[in-house]
Amino acid sequence: MDALTKRGQSSAPPMHLHARASHTAVWTGSEMIVWGGFGGTYLNTGGRYDPSTDSWAAISTMNAPAPRGGNTAVWTGSEMIVWGGDDGFSVNTGGKYNPATDTWTATNTATAPLGRIFHTAVWDGSEMIVWGGWNEIELRTGGRYNPGTDSWTATSISSAPSARYDHAAVWTGSEMIVWGGWNGSNSFNTGGRYNPGTDGWTAISTTNAPTARYDHTAVWTGNEMIVWGGRNAGNYFNTGGKYNPSTDSWAATSTTNAPAGRFSHTAVWTGSDMIVWGGTNMQKQFNTGGRYNPGTDNWMATTTSNAPERRAYHTAVWSGSEMLVWGGLNDFGPFI
More confident residue, 15 or 132: 132
Phi, psi angle pair for 289, to nearest 5°: -170, -170
Q: How far is CA 40 from CA 61, 65, 185, 283, 313, in A?
A: 19, 18, 29, 22, 14
* Cβ contacts of 292 within 8 Å, gap of 6 or more: 226, 228, 240, 253, 258, 273, 274, 275, 276, 298, 299
Distance of alpha carbon 287 from alpha carbon 298, whole angstroms? 20
Mean pLDDT of 205-226: 98
Domain boundaries, the chain: 1-35+43-53+311-336, 60-155, 162-182+192-304
Neighbours of 16 (CB within 10 A): 12
Tens of pLDDT, residues 24-62: 999 999 999 999 999 999 999 999 999 999 999 999 999
Mean pLDDT of 210-218: 98
Is residue 4 within 8 A of residue 308, CB to CB? The reply is yes
Tens of pLDDT, residues 135-160: 999 999 999 999 999 999 999 999 99
Check residue 18 and give its pLDDT.
87
Is residue 238 within 8 A of residue 260, CB to CB? The reply is yes
Is residue 166 within 8 A of residue 215, CB to CB? The reply is yes
Q: How far is CA 251 from CA 90, 139, 227, 232, 310, in A?
A: 36, 29, 11, 20, 30
Tens of pLDDT, residues 59-104: 999 999 999 999 999 999 999 999 999 999 999 999 999 999 999 9
What's the first-to-final CA gap in the chain, in angstroms?
6
Mean pLDDT of the chain: 95
In terms of CATH architecture, what is 162-182+192-304? 6 Propeller (2.120)
Q: What confidence tier does 331 reach under pLDDT thresholds 50, 70, 90?
A: confident
Q: Is pLDDT at 284 greater than 80 in this prediction?
A: yes
Q: What confidence tier does 183 reach under pLDDT thresholds 50, 70, 90?
A: very high
